[in-house]
Amino acid sequence: MQNIRELQVYFKKMLEEHLTCLDKDDQRGYIDAFLVKQEEEKSDPNSFFHEDNLVSTLTTLFMAGTETTSSTIRWAISFMVQNPDIQKRVHEEIERVIGSAMPRIDHRKDMPYTNAVIHETQRFANILPMNLPRETTSDVVFQGYNLPKGTYVIPLLESVLYDKTQFEKPTSFYPEHFLDSKGQFVKKSAFMPFSAGRRICAGQTLAKMELFLFFTSLMQKFTFHPSPAKEFYVKPSFGLTIPPIAQEICCVSRTYIN
């Protein structure tokens, strides 16, 4: 998919296909539910349920929901290559809790170390350091500062994710940030890669499930090593979000899996 325009053309085509076999008593998902609502409200000129909004929300969901997760997984793999001891502990936990079964989301509560590694990946990778830009819709007084209506606001997530009053080793990859002394997972209020407040990431729950399932599935099947031919670096690149730079790595199949 080259750009937003191409994506929109693709979604418009998809809507036409959905319309040809739409059954309001057997809705297949978001698009069908939206189209049924659109039909119900077609006489209302102020309805939000029209084609432009459907294409726009689909484009937003697609763009917000793909690169974010894939960049985070790329960081997680990079951190595993860079930290073989941490990778080994994740493998051990997977062997103990999941074995060769297919990873499921209910495994997560029994996998504090892996969960901490994923949280630490999101904290340390910091893929949206400047969040999404926002604008005040009315005059606001925030902590003694006047922000007139129309003020451009860039909440710096990085300032929280790397806050040394909240994280013991903010500039290191340190999964223990999310573990207590007994090795149990602990939540941190400063863990804000999804932002906070009313405009917090709409896909947060889905993203957390995806990250756990994708990461454990990859780690169950592979051990990740640096390529013997090239030096391995963990460095940020550029993009809509911030992924790591592209690198050659070796993915060695884990033999205990049949």
User: Is residue 77 involved in binding ligand HEM (CB under 6 A)?
Assistant: no
Among 38, 69, 83, 126, binds ligand HEM (CB under 6 A): 69
Report the 10 Å Cβ neighbour count for 187: 7
Tokens of 74: 């790329």
Place of tokens 């390529």: 227
In angstroms, rounded to a whole number, what is the distance separating the alpha carbons of residues 72 and 122? 7
CB-nearer residue toward ligand HEM: 111 or 128: 128
Structure tokens at 229: 């031919």
Nearer to ligand HEM, 75 or 167 (CB): 75
CA distance 148 to 141: 8
68 touches ligand HEM (CB under 6 A) = yes
Closest C-alpha among 54, 59, 107, 74 to residue 215: 74
Binding of residue 207 to ligand HEM (CB under 6 A): yes
Q: In terms of Cα–Cα distance, which of 169, 188, 82 is closest to 124? A: 169
| CB of 88 vs ligand HEM, minimal distance in Å | 25
Beta bridge partners of 51: none
Cβ 69 vs Cβ 17: under 8 Å: no
Cβ-based nearer residue to ligand HEM, 69 or 87? 69
Which of 9/209 has CB closer to ligand HEM? 209
With CB under 6 A as the contact rule, the residue among 90, 116, 201, 219 that binds ligand HEM is 201
- Among 31, 38, 55, 72, the residue binding ligand HEM under the rule CB under 6 A is 72
Single residue of 194, 215, 222, 224 touching ligand HEM by CB under 6 A: 194
Is residue 160 near ligand HEM by the rule CB under 6 A?
A: no
To the nearest whole angstrom, how small is the minimum distance from the Cβ of residue 71 to ligand HEM?
7
Residues 98-127 that bind ligand HEM (CB under 6 A): 127
CB 107 within 8 A of CB 97: yes
236 binds ligand HEM (CB under 6 A): no
